Amino acid sequence: QVQLQESGPGLVKPSQTLSLTCTVSGDSISSGSYYWAWVRQPAGKGLEWIGRIYTSGSTNYNPSLTSRVTISIDTSKNQFSLKLSSVTAADTAVYYCARGLWFGTRDYFDYWGQGTLVTVSS
């Protein structure tokens, strides 16, 4: 059974960089037709796709965040990470990591982490 677990500071000051790590267990992060993604959800609101990374290191980012976001992967540790710079209160949200799976030419998130709340406040 694949499991994903987010970790990182729950409180970040405005203008600083939010850093989160997702640890994958139950399978190798390098195996299969997968990608690894971050999704966030402000309190009481909907889901926002942040970006994804393949084990090759190839990335796709949400254009609304691309100037501030970096996703990286460490296959030796079975982890991938999110960095979001110059944060403001608008970045306060629950951050989820997820596994993306390709089904032919279609893809979807089949496993999700439990989510971690990050609050941006001084």
Partner 1 sequence: DIQMTQSPSSLSASVGDRVTITCRASQSISTSLNWYQQKPGKAPKLLIYAASNLQSGVPSRFSGSGSGTDFTLTISSLQPEDFATYYCQQSYSTPGTFGQGTKVEIK
114 binds partner 1 per the rule CB under 8 A: yes
Please, which residue, 28 or 66, has the CB nearer to partner 1?
66
Residues 35-64 that bind partner 1 (CB under 8 A): 46-49, 51-52, 60-64
Centre a 10 Å sphere on the Cβ of residue 69 and count the other Cβ atoms it contains.
18
108 binds partner 1 per the rule CB under 8 A: yes
Chain contacts with partner 1 (rule: CB under 8 A)? 46-49, 51-52, 60-64, 96, 103-110, 112-115
